């Protein structure tokens, strides 16, 4: 039943929603604004909001000092690679959990998720040593693998939730129609789950793009993605807020734009299965 | 060819035995209906034949080949599901083509069979639509089309009409019967609706709690039910059961008379008052109370009968049509 909302209540709700939205967005806004300030204005007290001398100087310096495109390319490879690899592994896993569950399926799902509760720093040392042994330090392939593993529980969980919504009879029909397991997953399950897979891919990509702990600790120069690019500006010579902000803005811009265009898909994906 | 034989087939889910040892042969070309109340194991039995469930023990033979361990895709059977189970992301044409695509049938042959099936099922104008744009009846026809084109050894139907409205159900019932006449392929049809069973089947298998209660033609089951369960399940309205003195007079624990075998006769031995009278035009169903025999006796009278609520009525069962059962419910004589 629809609840009656008075215009006044509606105005209050709208105001509140905008306030919260702006609060959440404020750090990003401030970063973007700071990136257009001079270093002096960036640390001015009291801080200046809009009435500063707008400049692109920081961007020019950042671009001059470091090769943005190389970092960007590494981010794309690492986030894209780990996402593709993760989905390839997670689809069959989620298929088996959703359609041929055993008594332990729920436990396995929870156990997978529990790996996310472990502080990453707890396994840094062993993983670092493994990476040295395997020669994976500062390699893109190493980061692809580690970020895939980190996001895999979430990818499996999300796909599992989507797959559960697909009626099992349709897969049985495919089996009766002569489809083997491979054909069943490729021609029937995956196309039907496209919206779910799309939002999973999106989320995994965003998580991998923003991941900073492993990308910072396991790379030096070759495989460093945009997170390392930002970090390099919180640097030894002292703090340069304006340049740091310019670097941050450049690093988050691609994912922010991607997220903006796909927000509908993302919201639908994240709330899917929550309401039935 | 499509003879299907079940030998000592059992199925258990955990500690629950759904199908106790069961033997059954379905002859090539037969229209066999599994009927029973919900939870009687009829769908499980069908899914065992399809291969969608694993046998706990026993053997399933299809044309004398042991198929017990053969995956569903390789059994050469086609199935029509209650929910239609169409592929929502494919057009009708692609849905129908799917089993042929899986079997690597050449494209020309695929097209030929699709056209033929679409023509037979009145789907020609809908071939490029998605299932979501079709009505329930059309969806079910697509599901049947998808089953026909692979030319299976047998068709399996799992309550295919229960999602359709009443009028459509009667129409589709005829279509499926006609399909069987035309193809002469073995069909196994699961339903809880005894009217579907009676009207479509060559052979009815009545199931209860996984047991076969009786196997026979519709009229055999109607005329000679093996026990009270079958007697009560087959026929509409239900058979009347009478216990007590009236049954003992005939040397039985209980007797059963179908509503159509009770006449309204002034000199009849049974007396009662009319409760509800259902006037269908062609028939009148009288629900008669206060007979001292059973709570209600249902009487089917031909045509229009001028009896109303509260009227007294005398009834005479047709003696040759009285079924006698013992205390365990088994048929006597």
pLDDT at position A237: 61
pLDDT at position B218: 95
**Count of CA atoms in the C-beta half-sphere (13 A) of A128:** 14
Residue B102: its chain A contacts at CB < 8 A? 177-179, 183
Structure tokens at A120: 């990453």
Q: Which residues contact A141 (CB under 8 A, 6 or more apart)?
A: A81
Residue A172: its chain B contacts at CB < 8 A? 50, 52, 72, 79, 81, 85
pLDDT at position A238: 64
Asked if B83 is an interface residue toward chain A (Cβ–Cβ < 8 A), one would say yes
Mean predicted lDDT score pLDDT of chain B: 92
pLDDT at position A276: 34
DSSP state of B153: S
Count CB atoms within 10 A of the CB of residue B333: 7
Structure tokens at B311: 């009227």
Banded pLDDT at B30 (limits 50, 70, 90): very high
Interface probe with B: pick from A162, A167, A178, A185, most Cβ of B within 10 Å: A178
pLDDT tens for each residue of A176-225: 999 988 999 899 988 888 888 888 898 899 899 988 888 888 888 888 88
Q: Which residues of B164-193 are buried (b: 16+ CB within 10 A; e: fewer)?
A: beeebbeebbebbeebbeeeebbbbbbbbb
**Which of A143, A163, A141, A32 shows the shortest CA–CA distance to A92?**
A163
Q: Which residues contact A7 (CB under 8 A, 6 or more apart)?
A: none
DSSP state of B227: B
Q: Do B79 and A176 touch (CB under 8 A)?
A: yes
**pTM of structure:** 0.79
Q: Which of A124-133, A215-224, B144-153 has the lowest mean pLDDT?
A: A215-224
Q: Do A174 and B87 touch (CB under 8 A)?
A: yes
Banded pLDDT at A273 (limits 50, 70, 90): very low
Asked if residue A81 has pLDDT above 90, the reply is yes
Q: How far apart are CA B12 and CA B105, in angstroms?
A: 38
pLDDT at position A115: 86
Angle B240-B245-B247 (CA atoms, 0-180°, nearest 5)?
45
Asked if residue A149 has pLDDT above 60, the reply is yes
Residue A188: its chain B contacts at CB < 8 A? 87
pLDDT tens for each residue of A96-126: 999 888 889 999 999 988 888 888 888 899 9
Banded pLDDT at B236 (limits 50, 70, 90): confident
Q: Give the distance from residue A171's alpha carbon to the nearest chain B alpha carbon, in angstroms.
A: 8
* pLDDT, average across residues A235-241: 70
B319, B303 contact by CB (below 8 A) = no
DSSP state of A189: I
C-alpha dist (Å) from residue B91 to A72, A119, B124, B257: 41, 49, 12, 52
Q: Which domains does chain B have, with CATH numbers?
A: 4-230 (3.40.50.300), 238-332 (2.40.50.140)
B237: preceding bond cis by omega (within 30 degrees) = yes
Chain centroid, CA A51 distance in Å: 34
Q: Which residues of B280-318 are buried (b: 16+ CB within 10 A; e: fewer)?
A: eeebbbbbbeebebbebbbbbbeeebebeeeeebbbebe
Residue A199 zone, left/alpha/beta (φ > 0; ψ -120 to 50; rest): alpha
pLDDT at position A1: 52
Asked if residue A35 has pLDDT above 50, the reply is yes
pLDDT at position B207: 94
B256, B291 contact by CB (below 8 A) = no
Q: Give the distance from residue A213's alpha carbon to the nearest chain B alpha carbon, in angstroms.
A: 41
**Which candidate from B51, B102, B150 shows the least CB-CB separation from A183?**
B102
**Which candidate from B51, B74, B83 shows the least CB-CB separation from A169?**
B83
Q: What is the DSSP string of B67-82?
A: -TTS-GGGS-EEEE-T
Q: Where are the alpha helices (DSSP H) in B121-184?
A: 136-148, 166-183
φ, ψ for residue B240, nearest 5 deg = -85, 135
pLDDT at position A120: 85
Residue A178: its chain B contacts at CB < 8 A? 73-74, 99, 102-103, 150
CATH topology of domain A67-232: MetI-like fold (1.10.3720)
Q: How far apart are CA A34 and CA A42, in angstroms?
A: 6
Asked if residue B156 has pLDDT above 90, the reply is yes
Q: Is the dihedral of CA A194, B84, B119, B74 positive or negative?
A: positive
ipTM computed for the complex? 0.85
Adjacent-strand bridge partners of B156: B79, B188
Q: Give the distance from residue A271's alpha carbon to the nearest chain B alpha carbon, in angstroms.
A: 22
How much of chain B, in percent, has pLDDT values that exceed 90?
Answer: 77
Where in chain A are the domains? 67-232
* pLDDT, average across residues A73-95: 93
Q: Which of A57-71, A78-92, A199-213, B39-53 has the lowest mean pLDDT?
A: A57-71
* pLDDT, average across residues B291-313: 89
pLDDT at position B153: 92
Higher-confidence residue of A241 and B106: namely B106
* pLDDT, average across residues A244-268: 83
Q: Is the dihedral of CA A186, A192, A195, A199 positive or negative?
A: negative
Q: How far apart are CA A67 and CA B234, in angstroms?
A: 83
pLDDT at position A268: 67
Supply the angle between the helices A68-99 and A194-210 in degrees, to the nearest 10: 140
Banded pLDDT at A64 (limits 50, 70, 90): confident
B154, B182 contact by CB (below 8 A) = no
Residue B103: its chain A contacts at CB < 8 A? 178
Asked if residue A235 has pLDDT above 70, the reply is no
pLDDT tens for each residue of B188-221: 999 999 999 999 999 999 999 999 999 999 999 9
């Amino acid at each position: 039943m629809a609840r009656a909302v008075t215009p006044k209540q509606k105005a209050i709700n709208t105001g509140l929603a905008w306030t919260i939205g702006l609060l959440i967005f404020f750090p990003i806004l401030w970063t973007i604004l700071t990136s257009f300030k001079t270093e002096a204005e960036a640390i001015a007290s009291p801080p200046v909001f809009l009435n500063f001398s707008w400049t692109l100087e920081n961007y020019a310096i950042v671009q001059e000092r470091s090769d943005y495109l190389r970092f960007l390319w590494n981010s794309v490879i690492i986030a894209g690679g780990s996402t593709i690899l993760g989905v390839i592994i997670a689809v069959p896993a989620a298929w088996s959990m959703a359609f041929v569950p055993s008594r332990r399926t729920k436990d396995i799902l929870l156990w997978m998720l529990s790996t996310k509760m472990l502080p990453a720093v707890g396994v840094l040392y062993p993983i670092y040593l493994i990476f040295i042994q395997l020669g994976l330090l500062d390699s893109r392939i190493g980061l692809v693998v580690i970020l895939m593993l980190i996001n895999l529980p979430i990818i499996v969980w999300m796909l599992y939730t989507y797959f559960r919504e697909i009626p099992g009879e349709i897969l049985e029909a495919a089996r009766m129609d002569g489809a083997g397991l491979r054909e069943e997953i490729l021609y029937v399950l995956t196309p039907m789950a496209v919206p779910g897979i799309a939002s999973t891919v999106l989320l995994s990509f965003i998580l991998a793009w923003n991941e900073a702990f492993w990308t910072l600790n396991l790379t030096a120069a070759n495989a460093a993605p945009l997170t390392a690019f930002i970090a390099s500006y919180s640097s030894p010579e002292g703090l340069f807020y304006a340049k740091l902000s310019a670097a941050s803005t450049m690093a988050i811009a691609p994912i922010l734009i991607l997220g903006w265009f796909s927000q509908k898909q993302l919201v639908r994906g994240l709330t899917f299965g929550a309401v039935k | 060819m499509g003879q299907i034989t079940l030998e000592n087939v059992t199925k258990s889910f955990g500690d629950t035995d759904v199908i106790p040892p069961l033997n059954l042969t379905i002859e090539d070309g037969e229209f066999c209906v599994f009927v029973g109340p919900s939870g009687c194991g009829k769908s499980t039995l069908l899914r065992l034949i399809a291969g969608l469930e694993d046998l706990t023990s026993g053997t399933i033979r299809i044309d004398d080949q042991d198929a017990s361990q053969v995956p569903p895709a390789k059994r050469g059977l086609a199935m029509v599901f209650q929910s239609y189970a169409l592929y929502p992301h494919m057009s009708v044409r692609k849905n129908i083509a799917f089993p042929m695509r899986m079997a690597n049938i050449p494209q020309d042959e695929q097209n030929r069979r699709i056209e033929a099936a679409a023509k037979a099922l009145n789907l020609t104008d809908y071939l490029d639509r998605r299932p979501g744009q079709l009505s329930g009846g059309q969806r079910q026809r697509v599901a049947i089309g998808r089953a026909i084109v692979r030319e299976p050894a047998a068709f399996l139907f799992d309550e295919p009409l229960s999602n359709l409205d009443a009028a459509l159900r009667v129409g589709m019932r005829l279509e499926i019967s006609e399909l069987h006449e035309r193809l002469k392929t073995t069909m196994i049809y699961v339903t809880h609706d005894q009217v579907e069973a009676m009207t479509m089947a060559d052979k009815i298998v009545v199931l209860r709690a996984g047991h076969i209660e009786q196997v026979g033609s519709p009229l055999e089951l109607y005329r000679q039910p093996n026990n009270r369960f079958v007697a009560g399940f087959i026929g509409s309205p239900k058979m009347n059961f009478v216990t007590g003195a009236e049954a003992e007079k005939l040397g039985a624990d209980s007797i059963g008379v179908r509503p159509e075998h009770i006449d309204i006769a002034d000199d009849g031995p049974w007396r009662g008052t009319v409760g509800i009278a259902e006037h269908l035009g062609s028939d009148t169903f009288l629900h008669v109370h206060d007979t001292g025999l059973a709570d209600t006796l249902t009487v089917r009278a031909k045509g229009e009968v001028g009896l109303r609520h509260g009227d007294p009525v005398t009834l005479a069962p047709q003696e040759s049509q009285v079924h006698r059962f013992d205390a365990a419910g088994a048929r006597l004589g």
